[in-house]
Structure 1
């Protein structure tokens, strides 16, 4: 299954009556209630709202980042509650260049759910009707089995990599935040030593992804001979990093991994080094 789906393809699937769970993932890091408010004001008919804070994140401890992943057990319970069994086709969208939709895409793929796609261009690409009636979750008939996250990198592995230098760490944040400037989301500015910066918006033309060929060219220029399996993606809190991971997948560069704790976890421990 290709990672992306076009608005026309989505409309055909919805009209066919196929079992689709359409997930509206709109969110705002500064105003966490804005995404749900926008959903209630208008969404693709039949879409279910999936919240970054409540559905796609786990319990925060103050040390594990702003959007820690839920445990595999908790994520399995959430999938079951939202109606995501192994046969369900899940299509995610937002209106921010697929940033939050990418997080849902990665979480599902990483735990063995193959039938998931991201609506390229998001809500802006949709030319069909807009609805305001919220969809209520319908739980799966049987519990969803807990699966470990494949491709997840721990902070200990990133610390080890400072010396081993086996993997290339790619930071998806904007260039100024990478250099410790204009930091408003985390208490410490800077980046993980030896990380390279690739702002996730470089993957886009407008709010749609660049072509697979262009993305391949861009990432090849960034990474050279580095294998995808030797790439660790991170960002501020493990969200926009998924965008770079998805872009590499679109480009056919499969196998890169995610440090989900990202900068917000890294900088929570003052013993970890900070580069500017």
Structure 2
């Protein structure tokens, strides 16, 4: 588990389930100012790049540029919409704890925010990544169900030595997923949505691969944590994502046990490829 300067400076009780209090009132004006800077920057970038459900979620939750949101207020809105609540955690938590929260429709979020020196890169998720990047799509009923199903799958995988396969599914969907729409490719992954550089790179750069989503393919594909992604997987809809993943993965894990992994930038002959979105044009499957 990791901690942050805010928690060292203002100790708070950490409960058995690794939750703690946000203590929104202790946030400084500088922390709120950094939120405003990040929010306003991403608002312009994502206007025509994020999936409409993401923008709708921001609006419905009332997440805005004024400052770091109050988790209790957000949770009250979110719970009425899809039954989810936000719980504050001091940093990264054990896998089983994380899966348990998701399985019970609780999204764990840190409360610290990056410094101005870290605006464009932060190794550990902060409150902007967690709340701005993740929470808006929890207002979408289908995606909200997918997140709960993922948590349930995580609890089952904990005893099956298959967490690395499941982690890849989370990485390539929840964190770095793209979706095909009538207007071209759009962003839904939080790791892209909360990043200035990757929001543009993921859709418009000719460098990365954009491949049609295939569950087994995703579970066999390694990923990078130190740079922009070499491969993004593209879903057709949240309904497709939920239907593909709302199952017991044990037969797939058994198959994965004897299958080799794919490198992050590897392309297979059978992969369905998508072209990038040049500015002002639509994307189409190649």
TM-score (normalizing by structure 2): 0.29
TM-score (normalizing by structure 1): 0.30
Q: Which has the higher contact order (CA 8 A, sep 6+)?
A: 1
Structure (1/2) with the larger helix percentage: 2
